[in-house]
Amino acid sequence: MDFAAYSIRGPLKLAVGHDPYALSNNHLCCGWRPPASCAVSRVSSSNIPSNVVRHVVRDSPHLIALNSERLRSSLKASVLDGSIVAEDKITVLVIGGGGREHALCYALNRLPSCVSVLCAPGNVGIAQSGDATCVSDLDISSSDAVISFCHKRAVGMVVVGPDAPLVACLANDLVKAGIPTFGPSSETAALEGSKDFMKKLCDKYNIPTAKYRTFMDPVEAKQYVKDQGAPIVIKADGLAAGKGVVVAMSLDEAFEAIDCMLVEGSFGSAGSQVIIEEYLEGEEASFFALVDGENALPLESAQDHKRVGDGDVGPNTGGMGADSPAPIVTEELKRMVMESIIIPTVKGMAAEGRRFVGVLYAGLMIEKKSGLPKLIEYNVRFGDPECQFSRRSYEQIHGRAKLKENAKFCSQSYDI
């Protein structure tokens, strides 16, 4: 699979003399190898505009945090072999406690540049595997508590897994405290935290998405549904753990969903307004890109399976499983997604004064009639379960031995 980086000014050129996985341009250090890279929120501006934590894969990966002056001063770059090495080893704290966080811990724990990996709160599986030391008593909803813990344990970087802490300003507060952090600010996390915000951005910057209206009044919402007919899609505006979307195949289902969100308040403030979208027929896929505010690097695609029942029936969940790469996402479709969805989003967010830095996860619908991608939603972090399923892709890309049958965990985050 070929990799290409994109900037808000257009595609970036492949580095001359390097293999297809190495990129170089005015914003990136020579030899940055995209199969294992990720973006980081930066503490302050500097002469290094690409605020990226780089996982450079050669014989073994090395983690480099470029928004830390201490680490920046220790970098040794070799243009001849395309490698970048950090002398300092750091302790990494992963925030979260799901399968996604286990996959991140698994990958980080195997980096020579990580002296140790901590996970708060973590889970029993992470603790038993030895991939990280779990810190179950750390209150991750308190920025002060997380910052204090980082200082006490000399944490060199924080990786925020879930969406809620990002929306609640954890990355902002960590960066203000001088702690290198992987994850976007709360201002840019609004791409996931408010579907209405995302939809308005799509309207303004001509990003293809489903036709929609936003409502706070249940009577008006139901009248709109009557006018449009079913099937139709009802979405809670805010974060609902992947459960705030109802694909209503009848008017009664749509009315029930509207009452659930706007009248009964089943999703709390997240459902205080709803987005009602046209029903799109086609195949869903997930697409990931690493973004530093100006440049975007496409990662691999995936498909998660949301319906609770066998045979793809029943209500949506946060994800019953996933596979990667998604067969429907061809190289041509990947190019289209980057040029019509990802780059306009990065450019639009920058124009709005909200430079996005981190993982941009686009939920797509590949329309049955046209074969073209439309944006369903954005997430601003790695997906769960998608984050666990792509090491096989990495092995195939690099021509290495197949994964063992009993391999327990794999991570899209650092292995593609």
pLDDT in tens, 247-274: 999 999 999 999 999 999 888 888 899 9
pLDDT at 9: 62
pLDDT at 144: 97
Give the list of residues 6+ apart from residue 203 with CB closer than 8 angstroms, or none: none
Q: Which fold has domain 184-207+282-404?
A: D-amino Acid Aminotransferase; Chain A, domain 1 (3.30.470)
Lowest mean pLDDT among 81-90, 96-105, 189-198, 390-399: 390-399
Torsion of CA 397, 398, 402, 407, to 10 degrees: -90
- Locus of tokens 């708060």: 120
**Model pTM?**
0.73
- Locus of tokens 């609004």: 190
- Please give the residue that has the higher pLDDT: either 306 or 254: 254
Lowest mean pLDDT among 14-18, 197-201, 260-264, 332-336: 14-18
Give the tens place of pLDDT for each residue, 53-72.
Answer: 333 222 223 223 333 344 33
Q: Where are the beta strands (DSSP E) in 122-200?
A: 133-134, 155-160, 181-182
CB count in 10 Å sphere of residue 26: 8
Of 203, 208, 88, the residue nearest 157 (C-alpha): 88
pLDDT at 85: 43
Q: Which fold has domain 211-279?
A: Dna Ligase; domain 1 (3.30.1490)
Nearest-angstrom CA–CA distance, 316 and 318: 7
Domain positions in the chain: 90-183, 184-207+282-404, 211-279
Distances in Å between the Cα of 219 and the Cα atoms of 129, 226, 259, 355, 385 are 52, 11, 10, 37, 37
Nearest-angstrom CA–CA distance, 288 and 411: 13
- Phi, psi (5° rounding) for residue 413? -55, -40
Write the single-letter amino acid at 377. Answer: E
pLDDT at 400 over 70: no
Give the tens place of pLDDT for each residue, 214-228.
Answer: 999 999 999 999 999
pLDDT at 10: 60
Lowest mean pLDDT among 10-19, 178-187, 367-376: 10-19
pLDDT at 36 over 70: no
- Phi, psi (5° rounding) for residue 245? -125, 130
Give the tens place of pLDDT for each residue, 159-177.
Answer: 999 988 998 999 999 999 9
pLDDT at 316: 66
Ranked by mean pLDDT, which of 3-7, 19-23, 45-49, 64-68 comes out on top? 3-7
**Class of CATH domain 90-183:** alpha beta
pLDDT at 124: 94
Lowest mean pLDDT among 24-33, 187-196, 206-215: 24-33
Give the tens place of pLDDT for each residue, 126-153.
Answer: 999 999 999 999 999 999 999 999 999 9
pLDDT at 88: 75
Nearest-angstrom CA–CA distance, 276 and 246: 10
